[in-house]
């Protein structure tokens, strides 16, 4: 298994440009999420999905869109990039345990985004 993969690894954008960060997992996990990591802030949840066709907002959703058409893929879209979106973005996936809670989240290697 490849686990959680993310592309690209690094991207430079100009303010106002759009782009999509790709995330895929081959573990058949129901739950997927996007986090951003900023110095001194830890990781903050942007959006998450509990299954194909179901998405919801996290802590910092503004400026980002997501969709989940398949179990495997969970792309993150920036419609009009802003310098405040300069960050490292991590995708994660997990499955629901028999007890109903969420088990360990598996993280991708990250996408480093610079918005000029």
Task: Return the number of the residue (66 or 108) whose C-beta is nearest other proteins.
Answer: 108
Residue from the set 44, 63, 67, 73 that interacts with other proteins by CB under 8 A = 44
Q: 63: how many CB neighbours lie within 10 A of its CB?
A: 14
Q: How far is the CB of 14 from other proteins (least distance, A)?
A: 25
66 binds other proteins (CB under 8 A): no
107 binds other proteins (CB under 8 A): yes
Q: How far is the CB of 83 from other proteins (least distance, A)?
A: 22
**Is the omega angle on the peptide bond into residue 111 within 30 degrees of 0, that is, cis?**
no
Locus of tokens 């999420």: 33
Strand 64-66 vs strand 54-57: parallel, antiparallel, or unpaired? unpaired
19 binds other proteins (CB under 8 A): no
Three-state SS annotation for 74-106? CCEEECCCCHHHCEEEEEEEECECCCCCECCCE
Residues that bind other proteins (CB under 8 A): 4, 31, 33, 35, 40-45, 48, 50, 58-59, 90, 92, 94, 99-102, 104-110
């Amino acid at each position: 298994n490849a686990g959680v993969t993310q592309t690209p690894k690094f991207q430079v954008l100009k303010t106002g440009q759009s782009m999509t960060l790709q995330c895929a997992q081959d573990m058949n996990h129901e739950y997927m999420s996007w986090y951003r990591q900023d110095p001194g802030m830890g990781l903050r949840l942007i959006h998450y999905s509990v299954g194909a066709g179901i998405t919801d907002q996290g802590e910092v959703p503004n400026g980002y869109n997501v969709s989940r058409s398949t179990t495997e893929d969970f792309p993150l879209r920036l419609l009009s990039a802003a310098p405040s979106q300069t960050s490292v973005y991590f995708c994660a996936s997990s499955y629901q345990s028999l007890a109903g809670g969420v088990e360990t989240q598996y993280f991708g290697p990250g996408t480093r985004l610079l918005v000029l």
